[in-house]
Structure 1
Amino acid sequence: MTIMKKITAFILIAFTSFSIQAQSSQRAKNFLAEVTKKVNNYKNISIDFSYNIQDGKNDNYNQNGSGHIDIQKDLYVLNFMGMKKIFDGKYVYTITSEDQEVTISKYDPESIDNVLPTQMLTFFNQGYDFQWDILQNIQGKQIQYVKLTPTDPKSNIKEILLGIDNQSKHIYNKIQVNKNGSKSILTVNSFKTDQPISKNHFTFTESMYPDYYINKID
């Protein structure tokens, strides 16, 4: 093969590869748009979840846990590792039964600690490149994975594999691999929508915690 033919073949392969990647990216983007649309259309969402954290430098470190969260627009109630968190639209109430303490703080949208659960369900819409990934059969469910790569080179995240139930378009799991070798896996065990929830469910009632220390930060 002449040099010119080799160069031509290389260019054709390069363009073909670029075209496949572009199609993969668009396919993933369209798929995640369906997921976002689904989430935004629900009146409320109730999720039971489990998580696993692995330290890439220490094979013996393996932390597991579980929790539950109810979400209605931006309002939420989170139960996680003996802690309860309520957001009523203005204040965040963190209730710790072990310490018998309630910490009340004003919601600050600029704080990294105040990321809303609704944003966590659609976090992929900003700051990531998308690629179509593998399809797996997990316990009878067809789980389609999308690989997310941070666009910020300074990000501590190497990549995220987001598993979506192909039928319901609900998030099944999130596998995050960090640059330091650590990994976290969050798995949705139950995803219920439009449940009957009382109007006071997202309201903190101080009288329910008579022996608790109330710590008002602001």
Structure 2
Amino acid sequence: MNSMIKMGMLCVFLLTGNVVFSQNSKEAKALLDEVSTKMSAYKNMFIDFSQTLVNEDAGIKYGDEPPIRGEIVISGEKYQLEYLGNTFLYDGKKLHVINHDEKEIAITKGDLDADDGFIYPSKLFTFYKEGYQFKMGKLQNINGRNIQFVSLFPIDSSSEIVKVELGIDAKTKHIYNLIQTGSNGSKTTFTITKFKSNEVLSDSFFTFDKQKYLAKKYTID
């Protein structure tokens, strides 16, 4: 999987270690727990998102490139993600990466490996529960919405992630955006542009239809 796709999935979609929490971090944890409980209770979620990348050290400034758009449907640990011309279908047991341009499909057991600290769709609302220290950030008014930020810092000093800022709508307790700063100076921002929950899904929504793709001449690894 190329690095651009992998970087996007970090955001598509952190955090208590064995530390003594200050009052600030206790408040941050309470807020994150509230968000996780609320969003995890939905039967499913339909999310449209945009992703931007800034790396001033590499000469990539905000606005140099148009945002990358994507959409994801999540139900429990299952998800179907449309991103950069690829479909990522995880049925709870196997991940199917469908490359529509090349007509190639890779199938692996289990979800993507999260040992590197990356944030994957099925872990979007629980990733904060281990491996990070955190504190409350700023409360900002963004387009008329009060967004409370929580800053998260990896405990592992060798992590490719230096910092994660999670923006939370103070009214709805929904995630608004996620800003991830990498050790290479890059800053990737994932912003939710549309959100729906508890939609009607067919029983086969997260089922991989092998015959469908063979009929279309896709190669399956």
Same fold by TM (over 0.5)?
Answer: yes
Distance in structure 2 (CA, Å) of the matches to 1:158 and 1:112: 15
Distance in structure 2 (CA, Å) of the matches to 1:108 and 1:135: 34
Greater relative contact order (CA < 8 Å, ≥ 6 in sequence) = 2
| Residue 211 in structure 1 maps to residue 191 in structure 2 | no
Instruction: Tell me which residue corresponds to 1:175.
Output: 179
Measured against aligned partners, the alpha-carbon deviations of 1:186-208 in whole angstroms (never above 9, x if no partner) come to: 11111221111111111111232
Instruction: Tell me which residue corresponds to 1:200.
Output: 204
Asked if the contact 1:56/1:180 (under 8 Å) is kept, the reply is no
| Residue 33 in structure 1 maps to residue 38 in structure 2 | no
**Alpha-carbon offset, residue 125 of structure 1:** 1.5
What code does the residue aligned with 1:49 have?
Answer: F
Distance in structure 2 (CA, Å) of the matches to 1:89 and 1:104: 13
| Residue 189 in structure 1 maps to residue 193 in structure 2 | yes
What code does the residue aligned with 2:187 have?
Answer: K
Measured against aligned partners, the alpha-carbon deviations of 1:64-102 in whole angstroms (never above 9, x if no partner) come to: 311111111111111111111211222222212111222
Worse-superposed segment, 39-48 or 58-67: 58-67
Find 1:78's aligned residue among 76, 81, 95: 81
Instruction: Tell me which residue corresponds to 1:137.
Output: 141
Instruction: Tell me which residue corresponds to 1:117.
Output: 121
Measured against aligned partners, the alpha-carbon deviations of 1:17-70 in whole angstroms (never above 9, x if no partner) come to: xxxx82111111111110111122111111111111122322246553111111
Q: Which runs of 5+ in 1 are unaligned?
A: 1-20
| Residue 107 in structure 1 maps to residue 118 in structure 2 | no
TM-score calculated relative to the size of structure 2: 0.80
* Structure with more helix by fraction: 1
Distance in structure 2 (CA, Å) of the matches to 1:186 and 1:88: 24
Size of the aligned set, in residue pairs, is: 196
Instruction: Tell me which residue corresponds to 1:5.
Output: none
| Residue 149 in structure 1 maps to residue 149 in structure 2 | no
Q: Secondary structure at the match of 1:137?
A: strand
Distance in structure 2 (CA, Å) of the matches to 1:112 and 1:214: 29
Instruction: Tell me which residue corresponds to 1:11.
Output: none
Distance in structure 2 (CA, Å) of the matches to 1:30 and 1:23: 11
Worse-superposed segment, 92-101 or 67-76: 92-101
Q: Secondary structure at the match of 1:152?
A: coil
Instruction: Tell me which residue corresponds to 1:165.
Output: 169
Distance in structure 1 (CA, Å) of the matches to 2:185 and 2:59: 11
Distance in structure 2 (CA, Å) of the matches to 1:82 and 1:154: 31
Asked if the contact 1:84/1:94 (under 8 Å) is kept, the reply is yes
Q: Cα RMSD (Å) of the superposition? A: 2.2
Cα distance, 1:189–1:128 mapped onto 2, change above 3 Å: same
Q: Secondary structure at the match of 2:87?
A: strand
Distance in structure 1 (CA, Å) of the matches to 2:103 and 2:183: 38
Percent identity over paired residues: 37
Q: Secondary structure at the match of 2:37?
A: helix
TM-score calculated relative to the size of structure 1: 0.81
**Alpha-carbon offset, residue 108 of structure 1:** 5.5
Measured against aligned partners, the alpha-carbon deviations of 1:162-215 in whole angstroms (never above 9, x if no partner) come to: 100111111111111223211111111112211111111111112322133332
